[in-house]
Amino acid sequence: MQPAAYKQNTSPLMNSSNLAAPSMVLAPTTRRRGLWGIFVSTFLELAGYFMFGPLLVLTLSGRGFGPDVVGLFTASVWAGVLVATPFASHWVDQLGKRQSLIVSAAVPFAAFVVIALVDSPWVWAGLYFVAGIASSLRWIAAEATVAELAPPERRGRFVGLFETMVGATFVVGPALLAWIGTGNPLAPWVALALIGAGLLATYLVPELPHVHAADTHDGHHHLGLRGILTAVKAAPVIMIAGFVGGFFESGITSLLPVYGLALGFTAAAAALLVSASGLGSSLMMWPLGELADRVSRRAVFITCAALTLAGTLLLPLAAGTTWLAWVIAFVWGSAGGALYTLAMIEIGTRNTGTALVSSTSVLVLSYTFGGMLAPALGGLMLKWAPQWGFTGLLGLVAAGGLLALIADQSMRRGRVAR
């Protein structure tokens, strides 16, 4: 007899992407408890994370380290994410989702405790890298678990709510730091308390059904790089959407103040471009997730990609119009974040088990790659060709994403017609 929390779905209608990891029909109480645990623990951990990170950056700057060193320090956590992401499916396969969430919360907590106690920027950088590795596991395990625990008919709602909650931590963490004071000796310990509370809240997540990839025999489930390549082949356009989402939601944000100053805005007006982008990525994920439950996800996908391109085409008109620049930044944050959210909903609909984790790993990898490439290439364009280079780069990425989605939609219709 199977545990009451779940039963195995043996429907002959199960698609091939799910064969290696049978869909588990969880009891409603198990679903609710799991979702509450992930939402609460992730909110607390990220709020502390985004409080501690800026504090370290400000501390380094205050000690006379240049922007190049500070930039490399900040990049160390993203380097950890990139290094770890290809192996995340192995770790989740060995540990299970619940234990992966616990380990991925415990490691950053331990790393930040040592950072708070040891006064060495080089030790900080190494531990920040380690925290990035754990963050990759947390990111992938949490996203995959939310998509799997969400009721299928309301997957868009819960994934959208989760992304909205994550976006809110980008505001809550720095706001708490500003309220407590960057020079207050209690600041790092408040951040640690939040991260520790997130670790404790992770234990609210119940034990979830888990099928090891080694226990399946259909040849569809693979781990590591092979699993990533399989996921890319299965749905390349989803990964393109993730890249474009990371490019416009995460990557461009860091350059918006620089671009605002290049347009002749005041420092305050240029800084508000970041707020406008963050506001869009925070406020719009839930409504767009709800919309994806009610209409064609592909139509929402294409609309969001079209909006990123429309914002880019309007960019030259923003030179003398501050409010238009804010609107464009809001649209980029909204549409870019929506592309990632919709891709996660699509992955959760297509896959379960190890296939879901592998596909989520690819999405995280493509989003991170887009987020890292945008400031690197955008900065070069602003330096070498400030009049047209930046706009041209953004237009190329936005148009490429839109065309890929339209082509994928056309191919789907062609297959249906046959």
CA gap 347, 144 in Å, rounded:
9
**Dihedral over Cα of 89, 91, 92, 94: its sign:** positive
**DSSP codes, 105-136:** HHHHHHHHHHHHH---HHHHHHHHHHHHHHHH
**CA dist 81 → 54, 161, 271, 295, 416 (Å):** 18, 23, 27, 34, 39
CA gap 181, 146 in Å, rounded:
34
Looking at residue 333, its pLDDT comes to 87
- Shortest CA distance to 331 belongs to which of 366, 371, 303? 303
User: What residue ranges define each of the domains in the chain, with the CATH number in brackets?
Assistant: 25-210 (1.20.1250.20), 218-418 (1.20.1250.20)
pLDDT in tens, the chain (418 residues): 333 343 333 333 233 333 333 345 667 787 888 889 999 999 999 999 888 888 887 888 788 877 667 767 777 887 888 888 888 878 887 888 889 899 999 999 999 999 999 988 889 989 999 998 998 888 888 888 888 888 888 888 888 888 888 888 877 888 888 888 888 889 999 999 999 999 999 998 887 765 554 444 444 555 556 666 666 676 678 788 889 998 888 777 767 777 787 778 887 777 778 778 888 888 888 888 888 888 877 888 889 899 999 998 988 888 778 889 889 989 998 888 888 888 888 887 776 777 777 778 888 888 888 887 887 788 778 778 766 888 888 999 999 989 988 887 777 665 555 5
Looking at residue 418, its pLDDT comes to 56
CA gap 43, 182 in Å, rounded:
21
Query: Across 87-238, where does the E strand assignment appear?
Result: none
Looking at residue 91, its pLDDT comes to 85
The answer to whether the beta carbons of residues 348 and 361 sit under 8 Å apart is: no
pTM exceeding 0.85: no
Running DSSP on this structure, what letter comes out for residue 295?
S
**CA dist 96 → 18, 101, 141, 192, 248 (Å):** 18, 9, 9, 26, 33
Looking at residue 109, its pLDDT comes to 95
Looking at residue 224, its pLDDT comes to 55
What is the CA angle 203-44-82, rounded to 5? Answer: 90
Query: What tokens appear for 260 in the block?
Result: 């605002």
The answer to whether the beta carbons of residues 293 and 154 sit under 8 Å apart is: yes
Looking at residue 16, its pLDDT comes to 34
Looking at residue 198, its pLDDT comes to 95
Looking at residue 15, its pLDDT comes to 36
- Shortest CA distance to 78 belongs to which of 329, 222, 241, 254? 254
Query: Across 183-339, where does the E strand assignment appear?
Result: none
φ, ψ of residue 65 in degrees (nearest 5): -70, 135
User: Which helix (DSSP H) or strand (DSSP E) does residue 25 occupy?
Assistant: strand 24-26
CA gap 12, 300 in Å, rounded:
30
Looking at residue 215, its pLDDT comes to 44
* CA 373 and chain centroid, separation: 15
Looking at residue 6, its pLDDT comes to 36
Biggest alpha carbon distance in the chain?
A: 70
**Dihedral over Cα of 99, 100, 103, 108: its sign:** negative
